[in-house]
Amino acid sequence: MKSLLLLFGVAVAVAVASAGKVLVKPVGPGERGNSHRLYMDAIADILADDGHAVSMLVAAQHADASVSKYKFITYGADGAAPNTAESQFSVPQTSGGNCELLLSNRTLLDALAADDFDVVVVDGLSFCDLLLVRAVQSPFVVVGTAGFSMVVGNDSPNMLSFVSAGAFTANTDRMSFAQRLNNVVEYLLENLMLAVVEGGFMKIGRDLDVVQRGDTIASIRRRASLVFIASNFALDYPRPLLPNVQLIGGLLARPAGDLQ
């Protein structure tokens, strides 16, 4: 836990005794109770307890009035942002889509840029939030709440001979030739699918003028100061990691309670 705070201190480049301004952005509209939101809630709590000024950006209907450690910045009228997983994994097709609702709000984007946050914490699962940090021009940290999926694949070496490409697989790190061949095919198909989805989000970014010529989702993600992964070496495949990648698996773990 202390190491996580230290890493954030490095990311915001402030002295240990001083407080930084941090913006936390959960995936999609930020539904309460969503597992990704729970991770971001935990990170926001840790940073607030350490004295940082923390704000969380969510759709209006997902702000939690019971939270006093940090403040909420909201966008959209109640019920305006879609409350489905579709906004996380596919490209919104209407102006009511969560990504377009967020990025088309120039007043909000200008206000976020003017707030001059020391660091923005985003979920690596959300391509839209990577466009957001590009729009507000702030240093940012990526949190891989879904493990290594779609977070460090473009930077760290992909050891497909002993690291499975899929999130759900029975393969171990000792694969047969047939398993390795299947792993390569799965990796190529997954990247083809992601290229299609990323292209759709980049079109939204270009249409709303929040990205610059030459930007891609991968190039924006590579600018992350730090990458936190919800995984643990004891539970994952052996793989090389870049120096700015840190594992924070178990952040939501709590001591076992009595059965009721």
Residue 140 — very low, low, confident or very high, per pLDDT cuts 50/70/90? very high
Residue 79 vs residue 172, higher pLDDT: 172
Q: 2-247: which CATH topology?
A: Rossmann fold (3.40.50)
Whole-model pTM: value is 0.80
Q: Residue 93 above 60 pLDDT? A: no
- 193-210 pLDDT, tens digit each: 888 888 888 888 888 888
Residue 154 — very low, low, confident or very high, per pLDDT cuts 50/70/90? low
Q: Residue 181 above 80 pLDDT? A: yes
The domain locations on the chain are 2-247
Q: Residue 86 above 80 pLDDT? A: no
What's the 3-state SS for the chain?
Answer: CHHHHHHHHHHHCCCCCCCCEEEEECCCCCCCCCHHHHHHHHHHHHHHHCCCEEEEEEEHHHCCCCCCCCEEEEECCCCCCCCCCHHHHCCCCCCCCHHHHHHCCHHHHHHHHHHCCCEEEEECCCHHHHHHHHHHCCCEEEEECCCCCCCCCCCCCCCCCCCCCCCCCCCCCCCCHHHHHHHHHHHHHHHHHHHHHHHHHHHHHHHCCCCCCCCCHHHHHCCCCEEEECCCHHHCCCCCCCCCEEECCCCCCCCCCCCC
